[in-house]
Structure 1
């Protein structure tokens, strides 16, 4: 059955303050009903206004600013003049008293954070699909007459980031054991994926988790988020459209940028170890420095899937014109820690002023990662960064061979 043939396209209201949980709920719902009309908000007052659109399902966090989720549920049950609207209440509270407080209002489900995605998906299937019903949605066509530059400028503002380079299902499966999800093992499985690393660090530093020092490495993010929330976010990334690049040409570009990221990360870690600065933070900065280029490639796949054409040379031109802008927009919108952003920026240029050892390490790592195979190291050895670090040609040669 196509989306157009569906007898009833549901309208769903999602009210959740945390941006990463909100995005996860959105993707999970669209994976069940890609044709659903979604109203998404971040506080209870807006949710009250959106209830006037008479949703077929409400998914709301109990801990909403303004009007909380419990009051929202109370309002729905009090004012509903038709059938009882299904209402899934999500809460950080799992104590008996909190659950008992909600029971008289008859929530369709009371789910606690971190969410059990299997349980949530089963609930959504039962609420939004008839028995045996399947819904298929066509990829929306591009706006008539839109130019590639305009499309990319718009996408830059709300890009989902880069494509996944790791197989998340395999990674999670390998990290599971009888005691649950092993965070150290999970880190080993996903540490080379720029998209997963960036999203987990951003989520760990969101308002819902931000306490003490910011997470600046993948392991710090995993430890702050915990096993279940980390797993949910990782699996949620795989639900998004174009999570992996299916276009052969664009996938080839992505492999090149991924290789550049890994080279920069490994050089940065080695240099950081030699200079006695934070190895894992430098590794993370190196890994993330090409995320903008990867995000741009994902946007170009969306362009092609929507019916757009890429003429010879347009991919390279788009990367040159928009790659850095995509990366800057992502790092700012995801609110990656300033210290981490500064290390990423140092890969491209030093700027003026006094240079820290980790800044110099990142700049040198970037130079080495961009050096073509077989090219001479002499220009780097004679450059400012190597001289400040007192690394001569022999030292750079050893580093390159390590």
Structure 2
């Protein structure tokens, strides 16, 4: 393939797992940003897409309909020259020998080694030393910000990254491989990483398995290599970091609010003998919609759109909740986790679980101004149902906000017993 051709290369990607498809797409565009992509979820779609005459095919062996090996057979029946990268969960010698007579350009075992994949793609899609420039497409004349956000709501990539994922992976690597507990400690405060890994773990899980609802559960479900690939893939996406100072300042506000809510939720869960990690994850993820809006606003600005503080505030007010709901639904986060996230904002009708009440109380505490007393929170329906009194709330607040001055603290009251 001649990368110097005037026409950008057409690449066919055939992969059943939506998160692996997305990762492959981002990896490919990071190597050749002008590539024309045909992305298929099964072998039958890929077979039809051969009519587009791709310059490169990347296909999983384990495809529904027509599997990747049969797809390779059909391609080779038409000629030997088309580059074809075959990926497979099967790395045993018999499986590899079965594919070799069909001359795949590469046979890559899953979970993929992203470094090896990138090297292959650079060899196939770029001349030595070549770099491809891809400016951000300008907005259409007369485009409005509300219309832009409404269009992006269904396809937004989520929020920006806060963790340095390259550093996190480096710290978690040791001679024995990737230490998942160390990796979890490195990225556990990042809402985007947490949400994507939980979503990916549930899409890859067997139906009979219990839903994955925490970061550590997701890491263990996905395994070291797949977890690392997904995390590194997030950094390849456009606007993974917010460069605009106005948007970065707003993102820091929502991130801090998420962290405070998560810490309050974990402390309350410990006090009430609930699932600490589940409550922490729910608190961490509840501002993901606002963060996703900010990321889309950066795309708007990069495309030449006007932006100022008033527009940012209006966009957050009008689209934050809708983006969050759309993301949680599209990523198929477990229903139980979604219910805990929703409880941070308000209690619905009916009977409340203790987890629901704890998340609602965590949200109240996180949003309470530093100088405001806790009496209203203690007298609120949520605290009364949990039987969490003023003294306990004061201690929680002191732990979360050690800078609170003595005069800001509430007077001591007799300690109330926490229900078990």
Alignment TM-score > 0.5, same fold = yes
Is 2:375 the counterpart of 1:388? no
The answer to whether structure 1 residue 69 and structure 2 residue 76 are counterparts is: no
* Aligned mates of 1:22, 1:298 — CA distance in 2: 22
Deviation at 1:6, TM superposition (A): 5.7
Match of 2:190 in 1: 193
Matched residue, 1:39? 38
TM superposition outliers: structure 1 runs of 4+ over 2 Å: 5-8, 207-211
Q: 1:44 to 1:75 in 2, by over 3 A?
A: same
Q: Secondary structure at the match of 1:244?
A: coil
Alignment pair present for 1:288 and 2:285? yes
Mind listing any 5+ residue stretches in structure 2 that lack a counterpart? Answer: 400-420
Deviates more, 1:208-217 or 1:390-399: 208-217
Partner of 1:349: 346
Separation in structure 2 between the aligned mates of residue 211 and residue 25 of structure 1, nearest angstrom: 28
The alpha-carbon deviation at position 389 of structure 1 amounts to 1.2
**SS of the residue aligned with 1:206?**
helix
Kept in 2, the 8 Å contact 1:204–1:210? The answer is no
Correspondence for 2:312? 315
Aligned to 1:245: 242
Aligned residue among 217, 220, 238 for 1:220: 217
Q: Which residue of 397, 400, 405 corresponds with 1:400? A: 397
Show CA shifts across 1:358-402 (max 9, x none): 111000000001111111212211111011111222221111001
1:175 is aligned to: 172
Q: 2:11 matched to which residue of 1?
A: 12
Determine if contact 2:205/2:221 at 8 Å carries over to the other structure.
no
Q: Are 1:25 and 2:45 matched, yes or no?
A: no
What is the rounded CA distance, in whole Å, between the counterparts of 1:12 and 1:250 in structure 2? 34
Q: 1:174 to 1:59 in 2, by over 3 A?
A: same
Query: Would the aligned equivalents of 2:12 and 2:37 in 1 still touch at CA under 8 Å?
Result: yes
1:135 equivalent in structure 2 = 132
Distance, in Å, in 2 between the alignment partners of 1:46 and 1:164 is 33
Alignment match, 2:334: 337
Q: Per-residue CA shift, 1:82-103, capped at 9, x if unaligned?
A: x610000011111111111111
Gaps of 5+ in 1: none
Whole-Å separation in 2 of the counterparts to 1:282 and 1:166: 21
Aligned to 1:158, what secondary structure does the other structure show? coil
d(CA) in 2 for partners of 1:307 and 1:211? 48
C-alpha offsets along residues 150-180 of structure 1, whole Å, 9 cap, x if unaligned? 1001111001000000000111111111111
Task: Let me know the Cα RMSD of the aligned residues.
Answer: 1.3
Shift of 1:329: 0.3
- TM-aligned CA deviation for residue 210 of structure 1: 5.3
Instruction: Report the CA distance between 1:201 and its aligned residue.
Output: 0.3
Query: Corresponding residue for 1:110?
Result: 107
* Whole-angstrom CA distance in 2 between matches of 1:397 and 1:188: 28
